[in-house]
Amino acid sequence: MLPRFLPTASLETLKLRSQLIASLREFFQANGYWECETPILSREVIVDANLDPFVTNDVTGAPYYLQTSPEAGMKRLLSAGADAIFQITRVMRRGEFGSFHNPEFTMVEWYRVGDDHHDQMDFVEQLVRTFYTEAGRRSVEGANPEQSRELSSEPFERLSYDEAFERFAGTRVLQLSSHELVKLASDRGVIAPSSLQPEDRDGWLNLLLAELVEPHLGRDSPQFIFDYPATQAALAKVRNVPPGAENTTPTASHASGVAERFELYDRGVELCNGYHELTDADEFLRRARCEKENSASESHEALPGAPLLEEAIRAGLPDCAGVALGLDRLVMVALGKTGIRDVIAFPGDRA
């Protein structure tokens, strides 16, 4: 075993990573984005029941939160008049360990005014193709033994959430009740954790997605999944869907709508999450309150929310789309690595 003071990634890989980040900055700037900086430490935090932020205190005992995403600060800049911004920053999330997770990681986040989620799928494909090409070129030039990701010239496939389930699980799911999802899991041999309650419809959807769909995504080429359940909108806009338009039969248990968001998968790994951003302040406040309630039910400590972000949205958040991309994962897949430990210097257990 190597001494614990050493990095888990090779110096050659870390040098290549540095070069790729520099080329990524050039890509954004060439496409009209400018780089911004927002606080990593803030008195506010966007509440998400699925994310657990680190908290510290100043000398007065007042709590400050290490940000799980630069979203709040960047949206405040959009409300102030920014048009196309990006940021490469460190973010922190408690309890995230694994091959594709670390409590501290590098996120690339960007927003462009006037775009929707389909526009950003176009941009993400361009970014990923450019990044993989650069990774391959620099690996060859440096006589680096990395197995870089090669892509075909075919456009990345785009599947709706329901289409992905139909292809890989044999059925669409947006129209299914919690009871029907439980039965589907049983029929497909999916074992649920004991903590998953029968009435937790989104929990069952997430479990089935992870077990039946995600392992198949991006095997040969990256694939987009879009139009998620409305109940999983987070801070994305929700589009009403007329009955039958998505081959669904809406019931009182789930709204007849879809969230205008997408994710990109490559080799079974989720690389990014993009939204056509919610701009309605009242709806933002309603969702924030729901997340606070859900977070409390998950036994997380009480979180303050983001009143300055709400103020910014009320002042006028322009129609825009945003994307959050895990840089460590992107580098990992681009270089053919199996875990992010292979592309970062000091993961949590060596930090």
pLDDT at 146: 58
Confidence class for position 150, pLDDT limits 50, 70, 90: confident
Nearest C-alpha neighbor of 274 from the set 327, 317, 237? 237
pLDDT at 50: 86
Q: Which residues have a Cβ under 8 Å from the Cβ of 225 and sit 6 or more positions away?
A: 159, 160, 161, 164, 217, 262, 263, 265
Burial profile 252-268: b = 16 or more Cβ within 10 angstroms, e = fewer: eebebbbbbbbbbbbbe
Distance CA 173, CA 209 (A): 10
Query: Across the chain, what does the average pLDDT equal?
Result: 91
Gyration radius (Cα) of the chain, Å: 20
Confidence class for position 158, pLDDT limits 50, 70, 90: very high
Give the pLDDT mean for 295-313.
83
Q: Give me the sheet containing 41-42, strands edge to edge.
A: 41-42, 63-66, 55-57
Dump pLDDT digits (tens) for 112-145. 999 999 999 999 999 999 999 999 988 866 555 5
Residue 1 one-letter amino acid: M
Confidence class for position 247, pLDDT limits 50, 70, 90: very low
Nearest C-alpha neighbor of 274 from the set 285, 264, 284? 264
Tell me the pTM: 0.92
- Of 67-81, 278-292, 315-329, the range with the lowest mean pLDDT is 278-292
Residue 171, phi then psi, degrees to nearest 5: -160, 150
Residue with the bigger pLDDT between 149 and 246: it is 149
pLDDT at 39: 97
- Domain locations in the chain as residue ranges: 158-266
pLDDT at 299: 59
Dump pLDDT digits (tens) for 52-97. 999 999 999 999 999 999 999 999 999 999 999 999 999 999 988 8
CA dihedral 41, 42, 47, 48 (to 10 degrees): -20
Tally of CA atoms within 13 A in the half-sphere of 190 that contains its CB: 20
Dump pLDDT digits (tens) for 249-279. 333 334 569 999 999 999 999 999 999 999 9
Q: What does DSSP say about strands 269-276 and 41-42: parallel, antiparallel, or unpaired?
A: unpaired
DSSP, collapsed to helix, strand or coil, labels residue 158 as strand
pLDDT at 251: 36
Residue found by looking up tokens 């007065």 in the block: 60
pLDDT at 303: 87
